[in-house]
A and B are shown apart, each in its own frame.
Chain A
């Protein structure tokens, strides 16, 4: 019973982490039709920002906010310097962001070395949960992910900003005719998506080894989550991440982590092929 509960908690944790990473990706993809291959490196930058600030003796909470803001600014810079020029060439955005990801990763290696950094969580105790002890920090991560999802849904479905953003998704030209500044929305969306990646990186940093390769491990599951769930609606990736994360956790505990990846990726490829529009089709795709 304990074992099953622990598995359930771990699976939920993994699912919510993927949701957290995929949320930023899907906002950028859904609104701007840009596949951001550098998202994993934005995650990395968030983690490194937190680690550096903590090593400088600054509190974890300030580091968390700083990482989010800093990576948001990096996203803004990326949009302005690179993405802006190639919106009309869809496949080239994949490659250009891939080039950026190589450059950012290599920059991090140059600055901080290829080795792993480590940092500590602000609280390390365990809490009793339904009869088992579970690290409090993991619960905090889950709470952050849920808050991000709730906040993003609120922002996009309950505010005027979200209404305008969805208008830009539905029809960029019509939105522009109605006086919505589409360029500003491009910038804001990209920065918001990037900031979420930074937040995810900073939140995850204390429980994983912070090294230059850490971004890639989350990038592919996040992409698959989006494609499986469908990018047409914000709920799509949440569903996709749920399926992918749950399968991964269960297979990893029953078989082995390496085979879990094989099983999950194969399953995702089949799901994408059978439902090319995503399991959850709907919403306006521009």
Chain B
């Protein structure tokens, strides 16, 4: 019988509290420019969590996850710029968030129905097909004048979380940071609850041996479809937050480049846990900020080699190795398959 994961009594809660508490305390030590910078990396972190959910848990490797991030970013920008068809001039951040959740989820659901059902695509096929999908999406966006074409959409307004006619824009670094952090904690709590639930066990079972899980009576295709949809919604949410912070969306956000970048963050951080994937995104971006100036193009060379070494020797990721050691569970076999 499958043993249910232990509840909240283990060390995971302590690690969660330490990490999120540490992040919340960051503005005490950093200048406001750095705080704003990290607020942006938090959105990348949410994006990384969404990828870790399907890849680390369920074994669905996607080379095109930025499609959903980009869709969310475009949905947010179009609604806050008042460009929605039928609603011209009417702007709302809330509508933007809703659309950024619904549109990517719907796209992922349709794509998932197409790809997982019938004879279904396996591992590498899915990775390559998603790669093709990302290239298609990027090409279409560059050719679509409504969405700004090659130039993208500029001066996307900040997130307005006012209500009942009052307006409050998340613009200053500090409120922006805490607002994004709250969103990240919310996303983490929701996804981590799924990962630690009985469904999470089934997800990991699909990841390690799908036919066997199906023989045990689980509808693996429906599970894959729903987790793919959920992951796309979270990626879209991250994209929406990113667009309203960055103030600019363009076709590269939806394409191949960002899709592979997020893979690197998640792999270096550690795909087997959402928290390490999240931190991976932030750490790699911070390192890039600090080192890219010093080393120039050599930084990417080093990152590529580090990635290769990590794939060979530390499949659980650099941070994941530390994480699972603290958690104190022997997950070696799971990380290695």
Contacts and interface: CB of A to CB of B under 8 A. Distances in A.
B308 A269 contact: no
A273 B121 contact: yes
Contact of A103 (B59, B140, B304, B312): B304
Given A89-B336, A258-B143, A261-B139, A220 B132 contact: yes
B322 interface: no
A265 B136 contact: yes
Contacts of A258: 139, 142-143
A246 interface: no
Contact of A85 (B61, B305, B312): B312
A95 B135 contact: no
B182 interface: no
A215 B263 CA distance: 20
A166 to B, nearest CB: 21
A135 interface: no
Interface range, B side: 35 or more
B128 A227 contact: yes
Interface in A85-110: 85-86, 89-92, 94-96, 98-104, 106-107, 109-110
A86 B127 CA distance: 18
B300 interface: yes
Given A95-B263, A98-B260, A89 B337 contact: yes
Given A98-B260, A261-B135, A262-B139, A273 B308 contact: no
A91 B61 contact: yes
A261 B136 CA distance: 7
Chain A binding surface, main DSSP class: helix
The CB with the most chain A CB atoms within 10 A, among B124, B142, B307, is that of: B124
B297 A110 contact: yes
A266 interface: yes
Nearest to B310: A99
A274 B118 CA distance: 8
A55 to B, nearest CB: 21
A262 B135 CA distance: 8
B275 interface: no
B300 A102 contact: yes
A107 B301 contact: yes
A96 to B, nearest CB: 4
B129 interface: yes
Nearest to A96: B311
A98 B133 CA distance: 18
B267 interface: yes
A106 B295 CA distance: 12
Contacts of B140: 262
Contacts of B128: 35, 223-224, 227
B122 A276 contact: yes
A205 interface: no
A220 B118 contact: no
A92 B125 contact: no
Contact of B308 (A35, A82, A227, A276): A82
Given A102-B303, A261-B139, A272 B125 contact: yes
Interface string B311-332: 1110100000000000000000
A143 interface: no
24 contacts: A85-B312, A89-B336, A91-B59, A92-B311, A94-B124, A95-B61, A99-B307, A101-B304, A102-B300, A102-B303, A103-B300, A106-B297, A106-B300, A106-B304, A220-B131, A227-B125, A258-B139, A258-B142, A265-B136, A269-B129, A272-B121, A273-B114, A274-B118, A276-B122
CB-based closest 4 A-B pairs: A103-B304, A102-B304, A99-B307, A99-B308
Interface of A: 35, 82, 85-86, 89-92, 94-96, 98-104, 106-107, 109-110, 220, 223-224, 227, 258-259, 261-262, 265-266, 268-269, 272-274, 276
Interface of B: 59, 61, 114-115, 118-125, 127-129, 131-133, 135-136, 139-140, 142-143, 260, 263-264, 267, 297-298, 300-301, 303-308, 311-313, 315, 336-337
